[in-house]
Chains A and B, each alone.
Chain A
Amino acid sequence: MPLTPEEVEHVALLGRLELTAQEREVFTRQLSAILDYFQQLRELDTTGVPPTSHVIPLQNVFREDESGKSLSQEETLANAPEQQQGCFQVPRVIE
């Protein structure tokens, strides 16, 4: 089940990756081979088998709704690539 370069480009956009033409070519080939190998799962009948997303049968874990210690604004922004007036700064989002 080979992937097309167009599908690879679409998945790259979904994953917010930018691929060079060469990366697109390599990933098309490699991901096709990997997905092709994964087809063997189809031979296994899993009708009625529940999915496991987590191995521990933990359900919701609750605690009292009390406010705790948080990071200060300064600490929170310390790693920000760009900041302005105490906020994270990003390129314009709204026209």
Chain B
Amino acid sequence: MRPAVELNELTAHELHDLLASGQTSCREITQAVLARVEAVEPLVHAYVRMTPEIALRQADEIDSRLARGEHLSPLAGIPLALKDVMCTKGLPTTCCSRILENFIPPYDATVVRRCYQQGIVLVGKTNMDEFAMGSSTENSAFGPTRNPWDLERVPGGSSGGSAAAIAANEAIVALGTDTGGSIRQPAALCGIVGLKPTYGRVSRQGLVAFASSLDQIGPITKDVTDCALFLNVICGHDPQDSTSVDLPVPDFTLVLGQEIRGMKIGLLKEFLEYEGTRVPAEVEEPIRAALRVFENLGAIVEETSLPSLRYCIPTYYLIAPAEASSNLARYDGVQYGFRAPGEDIVEMYRKTRDKGFGAEVKRRIMLGTYALSAGYYDAYYQKAQQVRTLMVRDFSRAFQHFDVLVGPTSPTPAFRLGEKTEDPLSMYLSDVCTIPINLAGLPAMSLPCGFSDGLPVGLQMVGRPLEEETLLRAAYAFEQSTDFHLRRSLPARSNATALVRSSRQRGNK
């Protein structure tokens, strides 16, 4: 019999095998996860709300189905950490904003319903940058999340809570959202697997909108197999989301194990150098080493360049705030959310939004409102949309020759808390490798490919529209040849005091 404390360290597919063969119960798994949360949450702060009653009730239902001899779907009984931007019926959904602090949705998001239908167990809702605006989870109204690999560093963002929960073994699978890198960058900084599906693959119904033409929900997992299994659950057409793609969804696990001989991989120069600054060797070397692994597996690697990508930062930071300023107009203190009193309605709106939103959200509303305002629309918003067309064209040209485009997920490993909070532009620049993919609507994933001074480095792979399978096939082949995905951050039986001490020592170094 395995000691319960270890169950939370396993992957979903490993746990499924233990459940199916009667070696453990769903209650034991859930309790192991909850015990881990209790032990390390004071350090990590991955969650903003735990749901142990729901989790144990769902777990017991799965156990009784098992006892009746029912066949379980692959993720039945698997504990989930859900980013607090997806609506959960009867459970607060805050987007880590004061303005939604007491908002209780009257319905579940489509993805949440799909998870429940497959018997996935909800253990809690995770921390994030307010309204998913940020790259470090420091913009949460409820305090930052810390990177389990080094508690003085950020976990990335905006899905930093979901990524940290997986890296610290505080959940088995997690859901994040990715508008400009918010799944892939935290996955990279936390040394785990994150995938942003093609725009339209996953329903956005019940996802609180940030930038509607860019937002996409995706899995954050410990390995590629779990990623494929989770995609099987969440992908598919939803009549309630008019932008969801009405195409058949494959079984994403079927490509795992297929060889990649002859696969054409393009290393994107724009991901290695931006405005004359090269990514540091500590990032470039693991990427180059990963490419040698692919070559040894029979893939053909060449460097390539997509010139329009060098304009991705201004393009994204005009389009995303423009959409956000429009989407966030609904937070007016009338139908739901926080309200501050005012003498007249405009004063009520302004005081509500002043007290309800944090600094970064206000900054983006300002930027978006300005870009959309009379006299500036053509110079900024329209221009950015035209450059977006150039990027879409550049990518589609590259994909005539390459099957996959690669580069680092983030130009640096995890940075220190507070390092970029005073200079918003420097924070925006940390998204340089991920935002072009959202602008073009492509699928992309990050997987661990090495370490730099004990901090994980992520390899980003980008695919043709709707070709998540190509990414998974390549990622699985890479994973089978390496052991980066097996390394874990905080020790299993963590002693909180020892951890705090060791992180302080690191900080003083």
Give me the interface of A with B, judged by CB distance under 8 Å.
3, 8, 11-19, 23, 27, 30-31, 33-35, 37-38, 40-42, 44, 46, 49-56, 58, 61, 63, 71, 75-76, 78-82, 88, 90-93
Known: A15-B366, A58-B243, A75-B106. A50 touches B425 (CB 8 A): no
B383 contact set on A, CB distance < 8 A: 41-42, 46
How near does chain B come to A65, taking the closest CB pair, in angstroms? 14
Picked from A15, A34, A51, the residue with its CB within 8 Å of the CB of B325 is A15
Name B317's contact: one of A30, A34, A42, A63 (CB within 8 Å). A34
B362 contact from A17, A51, A82, A91, Cβ within 8 A: A17
A23 to B392, CA, bound (A): 37
Query: B370 to chain A: which residues have CB within 8 Å?
Result: 3, 11, 31, 35
Further pairs besides A15-B353, A80-B336, A90-B348: 10, Cβ < 8 Å: A11-B369, A17-B357, A17-B365, A31-B370, A38-B317, A40-B311, A51-B385, A55-B439, A82-B339, A88-B335
- Indicate if the CB atoms of A78 and B106 lie closer than 8 Å: yes
Band of interface residues on B: 35 or more
Hey, which chain A residues are within 8 Å of B245, CB to CB? Answer: 56
Chain B stretch 121-136: residues in CB contact (< 8 A) with chain A = none
Subset of 15 A-B contacts with CB under 8 Å: A8-B366, A11-B366, A13-B350, A14-B373, A15-B368, A16-B349, A27-B362, A30-B425, A31-B366, A51-B388, A55-B213, A55-B441, A76-B106, A88-B334, A93-B344
Does more than half of chain A's interface fall in helix, strand or loop, or is it mixed? loop
User: How many contacting A-B pairs (Cβ < 8 A)?
Assistant: 154
Please tell me if the beta carbons of B366 and A17 are within 8 angstroms of each other in the complex: yes
Known contacts A53-B213, A58-B243: A91-B343 contact under CB 8 Å: yes
The docked-state distance in angstroms from the alpha carbon of A61 to that of B237 is 13
Determine if B230 is an interface residue (Cβ-Cβ < 8 Å): no
- Is B338 in the interface zone, CB < 8 Å from A? yes
Chain B positions within 8 Å of A53 at CB level = 213, 385
- CB atoms of A78 and B353 under 8 A apart: no
On whether the beta carbons of B392 and A55 are closer than 8 Å, the reply is yes
Is A81 touching B366 in the complex (CB atoms < 8 A)? no
Given contacts A41-B383, A75-B106, A88-B335, contact A46 B390 (CB under 8 A): yes
Contact (Cβ within 8 A) A18 B373: no
Q: Report if B117 contacts A (CB, 8 A).
A: no
Contact indicator A44/B387 (Cβ below 8 Å): yes
User: Contacts of B315 on A, CB cut-off 8 Å?
Assistant: 41
B487 beta carbon closer than 8 Å to chain A: no
- The interface residues of chain B lying within 8 Å CB-to-CB of A12 are 366
Q: A18-B351, A27-B366, A58-B242 are in contact. Are A81 and B333 (CB under 8 A)?
A: yes
Q: How far is the CA of A3 from the CA of B344 in the complex (A)?
A: 29
| Interface flags, B102-115, vs A, CB<8A=1, else 0 | 11101100000000
Evaluate contact between B354 and A31: CB separation under 8 angstroms.
no
Contact A41 B350 (CB under 8 A): no
Contact B104 A31 (CB under 8 A): no
Residues of A within 8 A of B333 (CB): 81
